[in-house]
Structure 1
Amino acid sequence: MSVTRIPIEEMPSKSKVAIYRLPGGGGFLWGVATSRDLSLDLPGQAADALAVIDGYLTDAGLDRTCIVRCEVIVTDHDRKPEFDEVWKAWMPEGHGPVRSFVQSIMPEGDQVEIIVTAALPTDQKA
């Protein structure tokens, strides 16, 4: 099994990205992101976290259309319409993944955390 992990610097026992490559090609990328700037409002943090996701995808040779699943965690579910506006501008039309949106307690300053699963193309080998 070929799994590549990119650890979180502050806690190496956790990964921000994991990539599993299937033996015949293809596979999956899982990534998690929060905003790098906690002074931003929810839409700003959402846009920044999505920019982090873009970096993970680019590093793996992927784009947003490869995302098949997304989990969005926020501190205030009532702000979903604000997040949805950022998401709508970010996600290419017709390529929306399965997405959930839940509220949770998060570390001080964090307003959103985004977890994605993306499919690697079958011609992409280990």
Structure 2
Amino acid sequence: MSVKRIGTTARWSDAVIHNNTVYLVEVPSNLDGNISEQAKNLLSSVESRLLEVGSNKSNILMATIYLSSINHIGAFNEIWDAWLPAGTAPVRACIEARLANSTYLVEIQLTAALGPSRVN
């Protein structure tokens, strides 16, 4: 089976597809925003990237959310809960971490199935 890399640089790829599964990491681009603004920006980017590769947010299988402070979890969850389609919650972990860029308040790593929505 082949591996398809999208947006590959010397250090990372924007997305990797293998075996009908997409793997990606997103960070916010609005680095002056608060946690809610960065979360909305990041999830919008996730949604666009998933659509670009032939998936969608209802096909997310697993997500790891990295927060610069665990105190942001309430605000992040409010945005996440409104963004995620009902009945499609993935396996998820939320972790406090020192992020690579000090202006990032949130970063997400996720795995999603390719193809149309699989709402149960």
Q: Please give the root-mean-square deviation of Cα atoms over the aligned residues, in Å.
A: 1.5
Structure 1 unpaired stretches of 5+: 22-26
How many residues are aligned here?
A: 115
1:113 aligns with 2:107: yes
One of 42, 54, 68 as aligned partner of 1:61 = 54
TM-score (norm 2): 0.89
Moved over 4 A (4+): none
Q: Which has the higher strand share?
A: 1
Amino acid of the residue matched to residue 7 of structure 2?
A: P
* CA distance in structure 2 between the aligned counterparts of 1:43 and 1:2, rounded to whole angstroms: 38
Q: Which deviations, in whole Å up to 9, do the C-alpha atoms of 1:14-41 show, x marking residues without a partner?
A: 11210013xxxxx210111011110110
- Shift of residue 116 of structure 1? 1.1
Larger C-alpha radius of gyration, 1 or 2? 1
TM-score (norm 1): 0.85
**Mapping of residues 1-126 of structure 1, within 5 Å:** 1-7=1-7, 11-21=9-19, 27-106=20-99, 107-121=101-115
- Shift of residue 77 of structure 1? 0.4
- Shift of residue 121 of structure 1? 3.7
Structure 2 unpaired stretches of 5+: none
